[in-house]
Amino acid sequence: MWTKAFDRLLTHLIKQGRLSVTFADGTTRHYGSDDGPAAALTFHDPSLPRKMVMAPDLALGEAYMDGRLTIADDDLYGFLSLAMSNMAAQGQPWFRRPLVIGRWMLRRFKQFNPVSRAQKNVAHHYDLSSELYDLFLDEDKQYSCAYFSDPDMTLEAAQEAKKHHIARKLLIKPGMRVLDIGCGWGGMGLTLARDYGAQVTGVTLSREQHGIANARAKEAGLEGQAEFKLMDYRHVTGQFDRIVSVGMFEHVGVPHYGEYFDTLKRLLTPDGVALVHTIGRAGMPGATSAWITKYIFPGGYCPAMSEAVTAIEKSRLITTDVEVWRLHYAKTLRHWTERFEANIDKAHALYDERFCRMWRYYLITSELTFRANKHVVFQFQLSPKKETVPLTRDYLYQKDHGPARQAAE
């Protein structure tokens, strides 16, 4: 029964390129056509057809991690490119739709992130060894989409470009009070303090990030200008001229969007500016991959623009600018994957084989999600007032309007 259902699933999905599957009983079946890329799988677990019909993304990821599924030449990128491009083109077969609807109906429960649960979710991912992140991130430990204003940029240059592009959107002047929500290892906040003269407060729920960010501030001689706190953004008090949040909104969850933007409104001065940088969907609302939820980002969700904008409108903040980055994150993830694979021996020294396979699967599926699906990056510029920011975007692209000039104004 399940082999037949699995056969129908792959017959429906694979139209371009050829996929060969050797089952646990030794039989091999072929799907698709010869006019495109090819990939070959071997199942070592007879229960895989059933599991993949019920939850393809979860079953596939777990089977690859555990070695219950192997790929010819271990060409994970080639297989996932073939599979994800076909899935994007064909969509789900009719007999899987009830399962998809069920996942949709449960999404708000899975995204319920009160303070205690949010802290546990953050620790699951960000409190891993900092040495792991050193294997693939740039020197500033930027763990979000880089900005390739020149397609030939190095990862380091593109991450620097990202930070300064955001700083220009914030229109920062020396002495301004800046709140960095989800400050990571401190790179964004330290840049705003060092290069733009801002007085920065960063908040994170990750103990690893908190300790490293403050150590970096001390090492840079910015202790009195950049402070990083271990606390939930909902507990922050005071007023700030600017708020920046890069790669954190994905952890908020739809049930908390109103709370998030109301908090931004409460903390901003009347003529303040906020910049929210987040992965999003250039399409309808959806549900997070079950594999990603279980192993990588519990409680996480990338919003459709309609979901974010609806919450912004209710907060009475004004959207002064929206920018959509399409393939910048795909390029960023390609750099990360190449660096991680080049350092795989060091990764094995930190974690076991299963973890390393999981991390490789995460990086590659993430890249291909941006290439084959409708995932993009949104930057929302927000303010309580229409007049706070310039009426055109010219100020973002003036070559002489860099850090040195900002600090001098």
Is the alpha carbon torsion for 234, 235, 238, 241 positive or negative?
negative
201 forms beta bridges with 179, 227
Which pairing describes strands 318-325 and 268-281: parallel, antiparallel, or unpaired? unpaired
The DSSP secondary structure of 143-175, one letter per residue, reads -S----SSTT--HHHHHHHHHHHHHHHHT--TT
CATH of domain 115-408: 3.40.50.150
**Terminal Cα distance for the chain, rounded:** 72
Q: Helix crossing, 328-342 with 155-170: angle to 10°?
A: 140
Amino acid of residue 181: I
Q: What is the pLDDT of residues 325-360, one digit of tens each?
A: 999 999 999 999 999 999 999 999 999 999 999 999
The DSSP secondary structure of 54-72, one letter per residue, reads H-HHHHHHHHHHHTSEEEG
Instruction: Judge contact between 213 and 202, C-beta under 8 A.
Output: yes
Of the CATH numbers 3.30.1050, 2.60.40, 1.10.3470, 3.30.70, which one belongs to the domain with range 2-91? 3.30.1050
Per residue of the chain (409 residues), give pLDDT as tens: 678 889 988 998 899 999 999 999 999 999 998 888 999 999 999 999 999 988 888 999 999 999 999 999 999 999 999 999 998 877 665 455 555 555 655 556 566 666 667 778 778 888 888 999 999 999 999 999 999 999 999 999 999 999 999 999 999 999 999 999 999 999 999 999 999 999 999 999 999 999 999 999 999 999 989 999 999 999 999 999 999 999 999 999 888 999 999 999 999 999 999 999 999 999 988 888 889 999 999 889 999 999 999 999 999 999 999 999 999 999 999 999 999 999 999 999 999 999 999 999 999 999 999 999 999 999 999 999 999 999 999 999 876 545 644 443 4
Q: Do domains 2-91 and 115-408 have the same CATH topology?
A: no
Compute, in degrees rounded to 10, the torsion defined by CA atoms 88, 90, 96, 97.
80
Q: What residue segments make up the domains of the chain, in order of their start? A: 2-91, 115-408
How far is residue 338 CA from its own chain's centroid?
A: 18
